[in-house]
Amino acid sequence: MSAESLLELVEQAKTARLRSIAPFSNFLVGAAVKTAAGKVYTGCNVESASYGLTVCAERVAIWKALSEGERDFTQLAIVADTGTLTPPCGTCRQIIWEFCKSATIMLANLHGETQIVTIKELLPRAFDARFLSGAAKEAPRT
């Protein structure tokens, strides 16, 4: 997976970020997820006056893609305007683990700084469907 194509995805996440609806936090986040076929779905955070209903940019992008029938993701870019690159929140980490496990994740800010991270390092010893099915009794910790 080329670094160039990840940087293109960052640009798309930056554009999505500008569509954020964040009147309460003023914290704008953009995300873009790419499928194995090369299609890109973007998302921005959408806040509600009932704060707990707020949805993060990452999940908006992933929900959009999943609801269009996509299941195979190769890249995910997340952009926020912070000096220390913003990682996905805990809820998003769970969703990324379940639906974008093999995607290369790039965190980025508006100053051109980027970092590649893996969901495994962000969410070690994750819970998933294997525990519900009983398969985790035999499966190693991955």
DSSP class per residue in 20-54: -B-TTT---EEEEEEETTS-EEEEE-B--SSGGG-
Please say which residue, 57 or 108, places its beta carbon nearer to ligand THU.
57
| 57 close to 30: Cβ distance less than 8 angstroms | yes
Does residue 33 touch ligand THU according to CB under 6 A? Answer: no
CB of 85 to ligand THU, least distance (A): 11
Beta-carbon neighbour count of residue 138 at 10 Å?
7
Tell me the per-residue interface mask from 78 to 107 with ligand THU, x by CB under 6 A, - otherwise.
--------x-xx--x---------------
CB of 65 to ligand THU, least distance (A): 16
In the set 6, 29, 77, 106, which binds ligand THU (CB under 6 A)? 29
Token match 């969901």: residue? 119
Does residue 45 touch ligand THU according to CB under 6 A? Answer: yes
CB of 94 to ligand THU, least distance (A): 12
CA distance 41 to 88: 17
| 97 close to 126: Cβ distance less than 8 angstroms | yes
Burial of 90: CB neighbours in 10 Å, binned 0-12, 13-18, 19+: exposed
Instruction: Count the site residues for ligand THU by CB under 6 A.
Output: 14
Question: Which stretches of the chain bind ligand THU, using CB under 6 A?
Answer: 22, 25, 27, 29, 45, 47, 54, 56-58, 86, 88-89, 92
Please list the active-site residues: 58
